Structure 1
Amino acid sequence: MSTPKTRIMYIEDKSDSLNGPARIGRVAFSKTGRSLTYAGRTFQSLDGRGFKANYFDVETRDRFWISGPRRDGQDRLYASAQPVLIDDDVAEEYWTIIRGLNWPRD
């Protein structure tokens, strides 16, 4: 059995508003690439049929924007005071490889 392809992605919950809780984390893609998993949840592609969302949680039907993180860190479509959380297991790789910056350890 092959290991699923993984990638660090930006994940924003759009179920309650256009500015929802967001984080940077590692997702695993299905063999076809039409679905992905993150934190025990499975997300299915909306295939371009979503408004400000491109995936939905297959269990709750909540909508999400999931995309590759931007080098400049401006991942949110709309400005928000809510912080974008970064999972501990990807923090160093995110800051040094994706952002090209020194890792700001806490």
Structure 2
Amino acid sequence: MSTSKTRIMYIEYKSDGLNGPARIGRVTFSKSGLSLYYAGRRFGRLSGQGFKANYFDEETGDHFWISGPRKDGRDRLYDQSTRPVEIDADVAEEYWREVRNMAVARG
């Protein structure tokens, strides 16, 4: 039995504008790799049909930018945004260690 591939990704909501709410979380890829799953949602590719978005929620039609997170943390397309990027608790330690190459302080 094969297991689905997962990866920590940057996920930004784009349906309300260029700087939407964003987070870092673990997505699961479909067998074909054409769809992603995150937080109970299924995302299909826009294949160049979106404005500053590359995926859409298959249930609501909302647009998202989903990509691999950057090592420097500058994931937003428009870097001047002051909106915070949330990091899911279940991936936080791995994100800081593996993606950002920073030690995680334990309290």
| TM-score w.r.t. length of structure 1 | 0.95
Q: CA RMSD in A?
A: 1.2
Paired position in structure 1 for 2:85: 84
Equivalents in 2 of 1:15, 1:50: separation in Å? 10
AA paired with 1:88? Answer: A
* Correspondence 1:1-106 to 2 at 5 A: 1-78=1-78, 79-104=80-105
Runs of 5+ unmatched residues, structure 2:
none
Tell me the SS of whatever aligns to 1:92: helix
| TM-score w.r.t. length of structure 2 | 0.94
AA paired with 2:13? Answer: D
Deviations 1:62-106 (A, max 9, x none): 000000000000000012111000000000000011000122557
Runs of 5+ unmatched residues, structure 1:
none
AA paired with 2:84? Answer: P
Deviation at 1:50? 1.4
AA paired with 1:63? Answer: H
Tell me the SS of whatever aligns to 1:60: coil
Change (3 A) 1:104 1:21: farther
Deviations 1:3-42 (A, max 9, x none): 1100000000001010000000000000111101000000
